[in-house]
């Protein structure tokens, strides 16, 4: 049964004024004390200095995101990743993530599409977008879209602004051409990708400023044609 997430009012969250230093301090301490007892005693710090600032960032993004990506869900109660780790299939049994992150995807294809991502962690801040782990069907659809719409794809990833901000798309690649495509295909280099994403890495200090809101929006805006191409393909 699909659960519904209630709508939110922008007034529910304070304007984003940068992540507080106390939030990064909490995440650093959590890395050294990644256990339920410590987290329980410090949960209010997480709520006030980590969770709420990220939700405020998301809420503050909504008006501008609605202008260039109206199809994307922007909801602080939905975009925010839980801090609890899924340890069922991991050798690392520590219960909590030591970063805070949010993911933004189309309203009609939640968790089945490409999207935008931002995370803040001690020592690293990342802002990007694309699709990190496409399944076999999605990968096949993306590759055929690249092969059949080469000009459109190259216009996006080859634009001066895209190359200046991101350099190139990231992701693991095959050593050989995937089945179904000729070895000398003009888009051979792109068709070998198994992941399709791009982004920027910033210093943690940059997240402390109110300007981090604009930096995040600028990355998402530049990546929107790329993310839309991937979603149209799928």
The pLDDT value given to residue 8:
57
Q: In this model, does residue 108 exceed pLDDT 60?
A: yes
The pLDDT value given to residue 112:
73
Model confidence at 15, pLDDT cuts 50, 70, 90, reads: very high
Q: What is the per-residue pLDDT across 70-105, written as a single tens digit (0 to 9) for each?
A: 999 999 999 999 999 887 877 888 999 999 999 999
Mean pLDDT of 142-170: 95
Backbone angles phi, psi at 129, to 5 degrees: -175, 165
Q: In this model, does residue 2 exceed pLDDT 70?
A: no
The pLDDT value given to residue 9:
65
Instruction: Tell me the residue length of the chain.
Output: 234
d(CA 136, CA 104): 22
The pLDDT value given to residue 12:
84
What count of other Cβ atoms lies within 10 Å of the Cβ of residue 102? Answer: 23
Q: What is the pTM of this model?
A: 0.90
Residue ranges of domains in the chain, CATH in brackets: 13-233 (3.30.930.20)
Mean pLDDT of 105-109: 83
Model confidence at 5, pLDDT cuts 50, 70, 90, reads: very low
d(CA 21, CA 36): 23
Are the C-beta atoms of 171 and 153 separated by less than 8 Å? no
Q: What is the per-residue pLDDT across 206-230, written as a single tens digit (0 to 9) for each?
A: 999 999 999 999 999 999 999 999 9
């Amino acid at each position: 049964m699909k659960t519904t997430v209630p709508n939110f009012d922008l007034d529910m969250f304070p304007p984003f004024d940068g992540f507080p230093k106390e939030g990064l301090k909490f995440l650093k301490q959590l890395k050294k004390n990644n256990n339920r007892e410590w987290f329980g005693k410090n949960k209010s710090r997480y709520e006030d200095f980590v969770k709420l600032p990220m939700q405020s960032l998301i809420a503050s993004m909504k008006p501008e995101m609605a202008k260039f990506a109206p199809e994307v869900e922007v909801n602080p109660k939905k975009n925010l990743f839980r801090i609890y780790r899924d340890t069922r299939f991991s050798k690392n049994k520590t219960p909590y993530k030591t970063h805070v992150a949010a993911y933004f995807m189309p309203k009609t294809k939640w968790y089945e599409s490409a999207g935008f991502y931002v995370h803040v962690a001690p020592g690293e801040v990342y802002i990007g977008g694309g699709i990190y782990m496409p399944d076999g069907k999605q990968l096949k659809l993306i590759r055929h879209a690249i092969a059949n719409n080469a000009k459109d794809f190259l216009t996006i990833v080859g634009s001066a602004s895209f190359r200046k901000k991101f350099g190139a798309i990231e992701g693991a690649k095959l050593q050989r051409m995937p089945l179904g495509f000729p070895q000398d295909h003009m888009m051979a280099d792109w068709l070998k990708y198994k992941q399709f994403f791009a982004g920027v890495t910033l210093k943690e200090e940059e997240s402390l400023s109110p300007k981090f809101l604009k930096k995040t929006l600028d990355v998402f805006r530049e990546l929107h044609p790329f993310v839309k191409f991937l979603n149209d393909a799928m």
